Structure 1
Amino acid sequence: MDSTTTVTATDGVALAVHAYTDVDPRRPTILAIHGYPDNHHVWDGVAHKLLENHPGKYNVVAYDVRGAGASSPPADRSGYRLPQLIADVGAVIAHLGVDDVHLLGHDWGSIQGWAAVTDPVVGPKVASYTSISGPHLDYAGKFLRSPRNPRTLLAVARQVLESAYIWLFLTPRLPEAIFRSGFGGRLIAALERIGRSGASPWETLRGQNDYLNGLNLYRANMPRPLFKPATPLPTTDVAVQVLAPRLDLFVSPAVQRFTGAIPPRHRVLDIDGGHWVVTDRPEIVARLTDEWVEQNMTGSADTPDSDMRQS
């Protein structure tokens, strides 16, 4: 089953909500948020594995972030600021008619998830959170200011190099020209293959709106948190699991491991794969997400922080 409904955001944007199952309020709900330049289809493989391995256990839902997939764009760039993106998460949860959700985020979807779980209004509606390849922007900014020895200085230098593409995305008009020419899409497809285990049946079909509109995520929210992170850092009581792909070319494991100000109920796992591990190894993401949700339904989540390796 894959049904699509529409929810109207607080500023009037229409968000396309895709349910891979019927939504039964008696079951735990996994709500997935995609990143850039993707749409909800990036979660198709993970959803398939969750439903194949745990039939009838979960409601599994994803939505197209504003301006991506079948969701409409806001009237101007300010509509992509994080407070509005947090409100979108709250609107989707309310639309589903469930008490709370287990968030699952990748890339910019993960950045939005971090913003949601540290928000005093939406955070209490999240039962657990699994973050992949997207740090809290304020935590990332703190990480960049944190080197105390040669090893941590090298880790920061690596992340600065891996984040160089951000400056291109902040440049007026040039990235749009690159994507309209078709070169940008081919380049991202090539980068997507780095770290892959082989041919994957799960591919994200992207439209030009995914590439172009999503640039405003960067332009509306960066680079301020990277240069001047919030003081004190935002906190959360939500149990957080971080899955850090070892071969991620854009978000290093070190910055993902820097979890800022989250409580003892969290864990960080290094996993095999590249940045788009969600399409390459959906079975690993599904297994660890189910494990984390299950632990936080039974109250047995790891305490304190565990730093483990998975393959």
Structure 2
Amino acid sequence: MTPAATTVKSADGVTLAVHTYTDLDPKRPTILAIHGYPDNHHVWDGVARQLLEQHPDRYNVVAYDVRGAGTSSAPANRSGYRFPSLIADVAAVIEHLGRQGIDQVHLLGHDWGSIQGWAAITDSRVAANVGSYTSISGPHLDYAGRFLRSARNLRTLGDVIRQLLESSYIWLFLTPRVPEAAFRSGLGVRVLNWLDRIGRSGRPQPTMPRGENDYVNGLNLYRANMPGPFLKPSHPLPTTEVAVQVLAPRLDVFVSPALQRFTGSIAPHHRVVDIDGGHWVVIDRPDMIARLTDEWVQQSVAGGAGASGTGMRHA
């Protein structure tokens, strides 16, 4: 599947590569997918294919390369990776779709794409154009900071300690020059490929095309935005009225299910679904991600998403 590509200028002049997997029909709901680190839009190829096979002509499916990744351009300096610019990118893509008759999108985010999605739906200017949100393996960073202060007993202390261990790689990424050298030498790539195997279903895996820019430029996402929210999360926490579905892989080695289920990170209209799989479940089990995303979008379109309040289920 080769999606059609167009370009969009963000507020600061960065060029974003926008990839449409379908013709854009204003009468259909539009799913806008945001990838994480160190990926590009191709991480969504399998999910897009499954959505189109399971539900022909039901959706417009769109993804874009985050600034600095894929064929999108990179900002001139690290400050261009801060959240205001990332939120502006989401807004620019939504505005681009709006010029083609699409007045609302249903966001789907993974890893850093999920973190950006949370930032977007807690910004009232962007949230007004978002019908629902499905988050996978990426919390709002302020919610994560509050989670790290949430231990009240031995069980929750264990949850916090586990997440601190799983987040330890972040300190390496904040170190100048060392991670760049690791990725350029190939060592960092091999380590991530090994971690990718944890939680796999055993199915044949498609090749995920990544370039050096995906590994190296994406480090600025960490350096521009961390560790501030972990050390001093905002108070009160940002909120949203967007209906949120959290898909929490049980074997994620970077973002624990406990963090993803943390009640401080869940909108009033929501559900949490514990799912089988590891961190890159979007590549390993695209059929499941497509099915659950479709369920949530359809509930949102019908006006019933999260109507019962806090929800928990398993898939």
> Taking structure 1 as the reference length, what is the TM-score of the superposition?
0.98
Q: Which amino acid counterpart does residue 177 of structure 2 have in structure 1?
A: R
Q: Which amino acid counterpart does residue 61 of structure 1 have in structure 2?
A: V
Distance 1:193 1:262, change over 3 A: closer
CA distance in 2, matches of 1:108, 1:144: 19
Q: Which blocks of at least 5 consecutive residues in structure 1 are unaligned?
A: none
- Deviation of residue 43 (structure 1)? 0.3
Report the secondary structure of 1:199's partner residue: coil
Whether the 8 Å contact between 2:249 and 2:278 is mirrored in structure 1 is: yes
CA distance in 2, matches of 1:177, 1:263: 40
Matches within 5 A, 1:104-115: 104-115=108-119
Identity %: 72
CA distance in 2, matches of 1:132, 1:306: 16
Match of 1:283 among 274, 281, 287: 287
Matched, 1:228 2:232: yes
State the partner residue of 1:309: 314
Matches within 5 A, 1:253-264: 253-260=257-264, 262-264=266-268
Match of 1:131 among 120, 128, 135: 135
Q: Which amino acid counterpart does residue 279 of structure 1 have in structure 2?
A: I
CA distance in 1, matches of 2:52, 2:263: 30
Q: Which amino acid counterpart does residue 116 of structure 1 have in structure 2?
A: A
RMSD, aligned CA: 0.9
State the partner residue of 1:57: 58
Match of 1:141 among 119, 138, 145: 145
Matched, 1:271 2:275: yes
Matches within 5 A, 1:77-92: 77-92=78-93
Match of 2:159 among 150, 155, 159: 155
State the partner residue of 2:34: 33
Q: Which amino acid counterpart does residue 120 of structure 2 have in structure 1?
A: A
Report the secondary structure of 2:244's partner residue: strand
Matched, 1:216 2:220: yes
- Deviation of residue 264 (structure 1)? 2.8
Matched, 1:17 2:22: no
Match of 1:181 among 172, 175, 185: 185
CA distance in 1, matches of 2:205, 2:262: 33
Distance 1:296 1:28, change over 3 A: same
- Deviation of residue 153 (structure 1)? 0.3
Whether the 8 Å contact between 2:139 and 2:265 is mirrored in structure 1 is: no
Q: How many residue pairs end up in the alignment?
A: 310
CA distance in 1, matches of 2:120, 2:263: 15
Give a deviation string over 1:243-270, Cα, whole Å, max 9, x none.
Answer: 0000000000000001426443100010
CA distance in 1, matches of 2:24, 2:222: 33
Q: Which amino acid counterpart does residue 307 of structure 1 have in structure 2?
A: M
- Deviation of residue 199 (structure 1)? 3.3
Whether the 8 Å contact between 1:266 and 1:304 is mirrored in structure 2 is: yes
Q: Which amino acid counterpart does residue 55 of structure 2 have in structure 1?
A: H
Matched, 1:198 2:202: yes
